[in-house]
């Protein structure tokens, strides 16, 4: 069983999950990704994954989307959310859920090239799974994320996202929520609503948008071509978004990823849904959003040591390049 | 001039440094690292770097160590440390210093294979530069770090470290110091002194050690084979270490890196000196130390979204593998 350990200085949690070392990696041919490798997420290989938790059927038979438990889970459903003392240290069982959303049966597709309706299916599936998972009162936070490409830490190429449900709100999430709460106290508004207003007026950092969502290169971008997607209306919980907005979000997501991929070529990125802890009530100070972090270079010691980032492309340049369709090479 | 921008939600600082995009990268042959490439850090290429700030002469003529300004600096010495308001956002001039320590004239060497006395020279040079730089009252924090190998974000192979001096204490540094202060308040001792005591007694996470320093696989290791080096005696400021301790630190550093390199082969790592803000007085609650983070895999979306890490090798296993000299492959 995985174990969750707490760093006694920083308060940061770490999952020690020895089984994860065994998972295959397509990008590392020596470890089972060479010729003749069978993709466990392709149709016909359903017996290579744990059974489906949720399936959307395809019109002509088969499936168009599947959710399965991760075969090499970072957290498992058994165990207690109580912490133990181990000398000066604290730990607890690695309790939680780890699911994989197989976004399409087509191995070689990408989100930006999928039909808008299929991307909307992926978004509705994320919401549905969170609403289901949060019925378990032990679960405090549900993290939805996607690693695309080798430099972003993906181990399989077939389009997929992951959902990890955990028994506490992670430190970084709590810090972001606290920062937003401080902003509300000081200035009387939601910081993300202010960002939407400021960026709509300033225009030069906008990457995509429609009546319901705005995609921008954020003012303090940590990574070259970092892109955030924010709902224009205030809402703290992603899973409470009206389902009727899924097509509008799919449209902005496809446009933003399409521009990134046109300018950056073979793009690696991490996509993360930032949202409130699932058992918390709707909040005035927090506003869910999506952060897309292209990985053009390796994060180095300075960033690790300081939490301070060095970015060689200003967000204004990034938006200009993305909107012109110009190629950018590192 | 680089610009420092503050994220309005998180309070995190970002350096927007467009000139950094121009620097060469040996690991990317298309960008000037191919055959015929001249290393700017090798003897004979001194005119390819800015002039020396500090040099240690070699016994037979020439130099055995050089400190130069970074040719593509993240921060520059002109400018003011005052912040400006830009709509809802805050920014300031990218003011500071960015130096490179060329650790040896020998291109193909590594710290662990350098003579102990040469590693002690590098350590004494770090201390000397910090003591010099902190005479500028605008400088609040000096970060010493080393990126070794492609996966750790190094752009040049020749053994070197970097020193970045900045006009504020970075968020992550402040969080670590605050965490240590909370521990002192709650338990009445320095958390790092407690870690030294606990690990010395527990033994199973020790990687190297002598009378003055201890190298351990930390209890809540974020990365497989993460290794920390702590002074056994309490001290908050790295630059105030007695110079007579440099050989003992060099010995433990060489042993720890030697074991990592023996077990992990072609090792990429980030090494970071964690220390107090330079203008702050000696503190009872903080204890400087070195963190070495091997980069065996890419950090992925879950880590970015949560500040929560998934590690497939427990620190007890890591110490056992390193001490046995066994090879480990990802």
| In chain B, where the domains are located | 3-170, 172-324
Q: Which pLDDT belongs to residue A80?
A: 82
Helix (H, G, I), strand (E, B) or coil at B234: coil
Q: A-chain residues within 8 Å CB-CB of B5?
A: 219-220
Q: B-chain residues within 8 Å CB-CB of A314?
A: 3, 16, 18
Q: Which pLDDT belongs to residue A172?
A: 85
Test A153 with B330 for CB contact under 8 angstroms. no
Cα within 13 Å of Cα(B48), Cβ side = 11
Mean pLDDT value across residues A64-87: 90
Tell me how many degrees the CA angle B148-B154-B157 measures, rounded to the nearest 5.
70
* Eight-state DSSP code of residue B39: P
Q: Which pLDDT belongs to residue A295?
A: 86
Q: Which pLDDT belongs to residue A32?
A: 45
Tell which residue, B98, B102, B119, has the closest CA to residue B156. Answer: B102
The span from the CA of B81 to the CA of B98, in Å, is 16
Q: A-chain residues within 8 Å CB-CB of B141?
A: 306
The confidence band for B36, taking pLDDT boundaries of 50, 70 and 90, is low
What average pLDDT does the structure give for chain B? 91
What is the per-residue pLDDT across A179-201, written as a single tens digit (0 to 9) for each? Answer: 999 999 999 999 999 999 999 99
The confidence band for B210, taking pLDDT boundaries of 50, 70 and 90, is very high
Task: Spell out the residues 6+ positions from residue B91 whose beta carbon is closer than 8 angstroms to its own.
Answer: B3, B4, B5, B6, B83, B84
The span from the CA of B101 to the CA of B115, in Å, is 17
Residue of chain B whose alpha carbon sits nearest to that of A30: B330
What is the per-residue pLDDT across B213-258, written as a single tens digit (0 to 9) for each? Answer: 999 999 999 999 999 999 999 999 999 999 999 999 999 999 999 9
What is the per-residue pLDDT across A266-295, written as a single tens digit (0 to 9) for each? Answer: 789 999 999 999 999 999 999 999 999 998
Q: Which pLDDT belongs to residue B150?
A: 81
Mean pLDDT value across residues B28-36: 50
Q: Which pLDDT belongs to residue A150?
A: 81
Tell which residue, A274, A269, A272, A249, has the closest CA to residue A179. Answer: A274
Q: How far is A318 from chain B (nearest CA, A)?
A: 11
The confidence band for B30, taking pLDDT boundaries of 50, 70 and 90, is very low
Lowest-pLDDT range of A9-23, A99-113, B60-74, B162-176: A9-23
Q: How far is B60 from chain A (nearest CA, A)?
A: 34
What is the per-residue pLDDT across A155-172, written as a single tens digit (0 to 9) for each? Answer: 789 999 999 999 989 888
Test A301 with B274 for CB contact under 8 angstroms. no
Q: Which pLDDT belongs to residue B35?
A: 53
Q: Which pLDDT belongs to residue B105?
A: 97
Q: Are B165 and B141 in contact (CB under 8 A)?
A: yes
Q: Residue A148 is encoded by which pair of tokens?
A: 């695309």
Q: Which pLDDT belongs to residue A310?
A: 84
Q: What is the CATH number of domain B172-324?
A: 3.30.428.10
The confidence band for B202, taking pLDDT boundaries of 50, 70 and 90, is very high
pTM of the predicted protein model: 0.90
Tell which residue, A93, A103, A102, A99, has the closest CA to residue A73. Answer: A99
More confident residue, B202 or A21: B202
Q: Are A300 and B270 in contact (CB under 8 A)?
A: yes
Active site residues of A: 160
The confidence band for B4, taking pLDDT boundaries of 50, 70 and 90, is very high
Q: Which pLDDT belongs to residue B172?
A: 85
Cα–Cα distances in angstroms (integers) from residue B124 to residues A134, B238, B243, in the given order: 54, 10, 7
- Say how many CB pairs under 8 Å bridge A and B: 260
Q: How far is A103 from chain B (nearest CA, A)?
A: 17
Above 90 in pLDDT, residue B114? Answer: yes
Q: B-chain residues within 8 Å CB-CB of A18?
A: 312-314, 317
The span from the CA of A199 to the CA of B103, in Å, is 46
More confident residue, B14 or B103: B103
The confidence band for B13, taking pLDDT boundaries of 50, 70 and 90, is confident
Q: Which pLDDT belongs to residue A170?
A: 87
The span from the CA of B242 to the CA of A138, in Å, is 50
What is the per-residue pLDDT across A203-236, written as a single tens digit (0 to 9) for each? Answer: 999 999 999 999 999 999 999 999 999 999 999 9
Q: Which pLDDT belongs to residue B33?
A: 45
Lowest-pLDDT range of A9-13, A59-63, B94-98, B194-198: A9-13
Mean pLDDT value across residues B88-97: 94
Phi, psi of B4 (to 5 degrees): -100, 125
Domain pair B3-170 / B172-324, same fold: yes
Fold for the domain defined by B3-170: HIT family, subunit A (3.30.428)
The confidence band for B80, taking pLDDT boundaries of 50, 70 and 90, is confident
């Amino acid at each position: 069983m995985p174990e969750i350990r707490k760093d006694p200085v920083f308060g940061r949690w770490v999952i020690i999950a020895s089984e994860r070392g065994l998972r295959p990696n397509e990008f590392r041919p020596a470890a089972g990704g060479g010729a003749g490798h069978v993709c466990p997420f392709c149709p016909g290989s359903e017996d290579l994954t744990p059974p489906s938790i949720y399936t959307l059927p395809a019109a002509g038979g088969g499936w168009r989307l599947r959710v399965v438990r991760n075969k090499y889970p970072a957290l498992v459903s058994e165990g207690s959310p109580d912490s133990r003392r181990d000398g000066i240290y604290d730990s607890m069982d690695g309790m939680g859920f780890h699911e994989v959303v197989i976004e399409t049966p087509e191995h070689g597709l990408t989100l930006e090239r999928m039909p808008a309706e299929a991307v909307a299916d992926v978004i509705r599936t994320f919401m549905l799974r969170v609403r289901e998972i949060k019925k378990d009162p032990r679960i405090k936070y549900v993290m939805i994320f996607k690693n695309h490409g080798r430099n972003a830490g993906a181990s399989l190429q077939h389009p997929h996202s992951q959902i990890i449900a955990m028994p506490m709100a992670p430190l970084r999430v709590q810090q972001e929520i606290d920062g937003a709460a401080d902003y509300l106290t000081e200035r009387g508004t939601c910081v993300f609503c202010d960002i939407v207003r400021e960026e709509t007026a300033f225009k030069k950092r906008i990457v995509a948008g429609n009546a319901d969502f705005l995609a921008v290169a954020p003012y303090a971008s940590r990574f070259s071509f970092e892109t955030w997607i924010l709902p224009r209306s205030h809402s703290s919980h992603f899973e409470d978004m009206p389902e009727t907005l899924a097509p509008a979000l799919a449209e902005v997501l496809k446009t933003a990823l399409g521009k990134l991929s046109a300018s950056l070529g073979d793009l690696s990125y991490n996509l993360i849904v930032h949202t409130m802890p699932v058992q918390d009530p709707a909040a005035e100070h927090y506003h869910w959003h999506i952060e897309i972090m292209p990985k053009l270079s390796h994060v180095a010691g300075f960033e690790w040591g300081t939490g301070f980032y060095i970015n060689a492309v200003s967000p204004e340049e990034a938006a200009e390049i993305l909107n012109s369709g110009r190629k950018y090479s590192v």
